[in-house]
Amino acid sequence: MSDAARLAKMRIQRDPEFASATISVAVPRDIGDGEFAILHKPIIERIRDITGCPCLSGRVKVVLEDLFNEVIQVDLKSGASIGR
Q: What's the pLDDT tens digit per position in 53-81?
A: 766 566 788 888 876 555 666 666 777 77
Which pLDDT band, with edges at 50, 70 and 90, does 1 fall under? Answer: very low
> Tens digits of per-residue pLDDT, 7-50?
888 888 988 777 788 888 888 888 888 888 888 888 888 888 88
Name the nearest CA neighbour of 65 among 39, 40, 29.
29
Task: Place 5 in a pLDDT band, splitting at 50, 70 and 90.
Answer: low
Please give the C-alpha separations between residue 28 and each of 18, 38, 48, 67, 75, in angstroms, as whole numbers. Answer: 31, 14, 25, 7, 23
